[in-house]
Amino acid sequence: MTGGLGFVDAVIAWVDGNDPAHKEKRAKYLPTSQVHKKDVGDFRYAEIGEVNYCVKSILKFAPHVRHIYIITDQQAPPLQGIPSALQSKISVVDHREIFVGFEDCLPTFNSLSIEALLHMVPGLSERFVYFNDDFFLIRPIEPQEWYQGGSSVLHGRWETPPDKTLYKRLRYWFKGILTRVDYKRVQSHGYRRVQSHGAALAGFEKKFFRSYHTPKPLTKMTYESFYAAHPEILRNQLVHRFRHYTQYSPCSLSWHISIARGEALLIKDPSVLELHMGKGSLHSIQKKLAKADVQRMPYLNIQDLSLANAETIAFVKDWLEKRTAL
């Protein structure tokens, strides 16, 4: 139990895009038009062992988590250095187990579709925390940092939806003239955009609470009640094997429903160190990690580690290995 809050599980979405079988399957279904290369590029599915550190960070810094579920597509995550006594806390869940009733939507290569069915993980607790495999805990986390009373704790800030800013509207207009296509349909559907789409479904059309790249405290009941009332929204989300301009972040939908109900505690302090491997030198990354230690930041997000040079990858993995050692 977690301080009277009930059991809390963790869910991680993971894929090994380097697997030849997965590459072949992905190529078979790859759309030929109306997509942005950022949404279907190999780098989006690249894997160099991050999930191992994600799992170990939960086991080490959030031992109150009852169980860890790793959602994947007929693959086995490369978990190492986990004591046998803790291995029973980890389960691998195949896409087929959560797409019950939606088998026609498989295979899928779309995290936004997968995230719409997190609540379908067999045996999942009512309250659960969702991780991408590049999220890591880097200091001890108390249950109250995710849930307080009947509220989920959300880190972020209020923003204007990107599609509604003057700059973006003008950009779409000029791109449309130059390319003779509806540019909104072929642009990259980034983190802010899909969050704003999820917020709009919950009634937040003018402003949305943008979450940082941190673990997401969620509830099964929120998912279940919304999709029971709007099955067509779920079906329309799942039919896209790759990201589509009409899609939304299910996590954002969930937390905006919680905000509307008064069941969310909003915190502006990001409490996360975000490292973008395409930006900055190894020296700057070292400085940022040292600063995170001094500031006692709880969360670390490392984006596109596979794109870094060999020296940077070796340093970051060594740092994570030491920090998450059990």
Tell whether the model's pLDDT for residue 38 goes beyond 80: no
Percent helix, strand, coil in the chain (nearest 5)? Answer: 45, 20, 40
Looking at mean pLDDT, say which of 85-99, 175-189, 280-294 comes out highest.
85-99
Confidence category of residue 266, pLDDT binned at 50, 70, 90: very high
Residue-level pLDDT at 169 = 60
Contact (Cβ atoms closer than 8 angstroms) between residue 7 and residue 220: no
Q: Which residue has the higher pLDDT, 105 or 190?
A: 105
Q: What is the mean pLDDT of residues 17-44?
A: 73
Q: Which residue has the higher pLDDT, 43 or 126?
A: 126
Cα separation, 62 vs 295, whole angstroms: 19
Cα separation, 110 vs 172, whole angstroms: 24
Q: What is the mean pLDDT of residues 1-23?
A: 84
Q: Quick: pLDDT tens for 156-169.
A: 999 999 877 666 66
Q: Quick: pLDDT tens for 105-117.
A: 999 999 999 999 9
Tell whether the model's pLDDT for residue 25 goes beyond 90: yes
* Beta carbons within 10 angstroms of residue 174's beta carbon: 11
Tell whether the model's pLDDT for residue 187 goes beyond 80: no
Share of residues in the chain with pLDDT > 70 (%): 86
Confidence category of residue 294, pLDDT binned at 50, 70, 90: confident
The secondary structure of 102-118 as a DSSP string is -GGG-S---HHHHHTTG
Residue-level pLDDT at 277 = 85
The single-letter DSSP state of residue 84 is T
Q: What is the mean pLDDT of residues 302-313?
A: 91
6 Rama class: left (phi>0) / alpha (psi -120 to 50) / beta: left
Tell whether the model's pLDDT for residue 173 goes beyond 90: no
Q: What is the mean pLDDT of residues 91-100?
A: 98
The single-letter DSSP state of residue 263 is -
Residue 57 neighbours by CB under 8 Å, 6+ apart: 136, 137, 138, 323, 324
Tell whether the model's pLDDT for residue 228 goes beyond 70: yes
Going from N- to C-terminal start, the domains of the chain cover 8-155+211-244+262-324
The CATH code of domain 8-155+211-244+262-324 reads 3.90.550
Residue 42 neighbours by CB under 8 Å, 6+ apart: 17, 23
Which of 24, 13, 6 shows the shortest CA–CA distance to 93? 13
Tell whether the model's pLDDT for residue 184 goes beyond 60: no
Confidence category of residue 177, pLDDT binned at 50, 70, 90: low
- Least confident interval from 18-27, 76-85, 198-207, 246-255: 18-27
Tell whether the model's pLDDT for residue 257 goes beyond 70: yes
Residue-level pLDDT at 190 = 79
Interhelix angle 250-261/191-201, rounded to 10 degrees, is 50
Average pLDDT, the chain: 89
DSSP SS3 for 212: coil
Share of residues in the chain with pLDDT > 90 (%): 74
Tell whether the model's pLDDT for residue 1 goes beyond 60: no
Cα separation, 69 vs 151, whole angstroms: 23
